[in-house]
Structure 1
């Protein structure tokens, strides 16, 4: 009886330690490929967010659309942490290019993330210095960065994959001066509307995270036109990278 109890305890412990990976996109287009490949899916709605729990390439995952913006991203990530025992997070999707070396459909993998619209500089703090950040930054996980980099290079080739800081704010950036400010203030490579909020939650929970962003536009005066033309291509590329990552995890 004691042996059986010990075996049961070890089995329970092993199951508890198994990876469950949260894969998040802000929009339907960013997760549609992933959902189409999932098996054994259980669907559940919480706070208007639909969570799809199941298997993807034999990995335990929960895939969901966070919705656009920092509040939606932080709320849905917190639900995933609390309700689905998530211990790794991958955010997939599109972004606007900041660094001049980037072309549309290139990919930026986060090393750090910043909330560029958080501003309490009137009190002497740095722009983007959100409580909980380290010198304005939220960290991505080094192991996940390396896996994402290798996977992205397999999907797109080495000359289209970069690692850099991603800036997040509740704005669609489409102005050259704003782009220059993001590069000057934060050294940002790309800009979007969710990643740093997700990283904020992940860092507080001490959970590994990486954000993968495929460039849908140049974040300048032509951004809205480029975005409409390339958003689906960029979103699909990012999702394919995530699929490749799962094979390496």
Structure 2
């Protein structure tokens, strides 16, 4: 299989993306999604790796109405669709911050690589729709990458709320979830339509089953988690460079 020629790294928040953009010396490609027309919120920063492969960092951008980052599945799906349709990457890396679980050994600052993606808040108790709601997708297998990073692995579950209801918590336990976040399953769903492999790398900002309020712990640890992403995501991109997806 041919080496990877184009890598797309998708982020929901600018604070998560900026360290990688700076580390790789990427520049804004204002015309990347020009075919769409209108003022789409996504921003693309592009450059070239040592092998000559192209790398594109795609940020979901900001909501013009509320002046906040486009976190959640809607922004993620839009970013992924345009990335796949326009940039046509060989592999997608979704990087970002997330919640972890003490009961499964998670700690603030941990780095996880996803093994599987599921939705924990799309509950449709109708035969057929129930499985559609969960939307289970396997992450692309990356045993060599995981060994090189020395990181943890686990199931990543996606929902559109920062907190979790008791019903969500029960599903998170049923799914043996190690990482709770707001984008990855949507990215995996859209990438699957284009047959693009997906890798997800998440750093833990808060402990879902811990004593502290999720929003307070998240905000307190966002900066340090972004620093962890700054350290690990360039290593991920460097590891991909010059390899085929089957060599990961």
Q: TM-score range by the shorter chain?
A: 0.7 to 0.9
Q: Residue 74 of structure 1: CA displacement? A: 0.8
Match of 1:7 in 2: none
Once the two structures are TM-superposed, the CA of residue 244 in structure 1 deviates from its matched residue by 0.8
> Are 2:137 and 1:119 aligned?
no
Q: Is the 8 A contact 2:19 2:226 kept in 1?
A: no
The change in CA–CA distance for 1:126 and 1:229 in structure 2 (over 3 A counts) is: same
Residue 27 of structure 2 corresponds to 41
Q: How far apart are residue 114 of structure 1 and its match? A: 0.6
For residues 18-51 of structure 1, what are the alpha-carbon distances to aligned partners after superposition, in whole Å with 9 as ceiling and x for unaligned? Answer: 5210011110111111111234635226412111
Q: Which has the larger radius of gyration?
A: 1
In structure 2, relative to structure 1, the CA distance for the partners of 1:238 and 1:40 (3 Å cut) is: closer
1:151, 1:241 within 8 Å by CA — same for their partners in 2?
no
- 2:14 pairs with 28, 32, 47, which one? 28
Partner of 2:163: 173
Q: Shift of the alpha carbon at 1:230? A: 0.9
Aligned to 2:99: 96
Match of 2:73 among 70, 74, 77: 70
| 2:36 equivalent in structure 1 | none
- Are residue 163 (structure 1) and residue 166 (structure 2) matched? no
Corresponding position of 1:152: 149
Q: 1:140 to 1:62 in 2, by over 3 A?
A: same
Alignment deviations for residues 208-238 of structure 1 (CA, whole Å, 9 cap, x no partner) = 1111111100125521221111112112212
Which residue, out of 209, 212, 220, partners 2:198?
209
Secondary structure (helix, strand or coil) at the match of 1:62 reads strand
Structure 1 distance, partners of 2:149, 2:171, is 25
Compute the displacement of 1:76 (Å): 0.7
Q: 2: distance between equivalents of 1:56 and 1:197?
A: 27
Preserved CA contact (<8 Å) 1:98 1:218: yes
RMSD: 2.4
The 8 Å contact of residues 4 and 91 in structure 2, kept in 1 or not, is answered as no
In the alignment, the residues of structure 1 paired with residue 26 and residue 216 of structure 2 have an alpha-carbon distance, to the nearest angstrom, of: 39
Q: What CA distance in whole angstroms lies between the structure 2 residues aligned with 1:208 and 1:236?
A: 26
Q: Is the 8 A contact 2:23 2:234 kept in 1?
A: no
Contact 2:112 2:152 (8 Å CA) reproduced = yes
Q: Which is richer in helix? A: 1
Q: Does 2:177 match 1:188?
A: yes
Shift of 1:180: 3.5
Whether the aligned pair in 2 keeps the contact of 1:99 and 1:188 (CA below 8 Å) is no
Change (3 A) 1:85 1:125: closer
- Equivalent pairs counted in the alignment come to 219
CA shift in 2, pair 1:99/1:244, >3 Å: same
Change (3 A) 1:164 1:70: same
TM-score normalised to structure 2 length: 0.79
Unaligned runs of 5+ in 2: 34-39, 61-69, 241-248
Which residue matches 1:9? none
Partners of 1:49 and 1:64 within 8 A in 2:
yes
| Pairing partner for 2:109 from 102, 105, 121 | 105
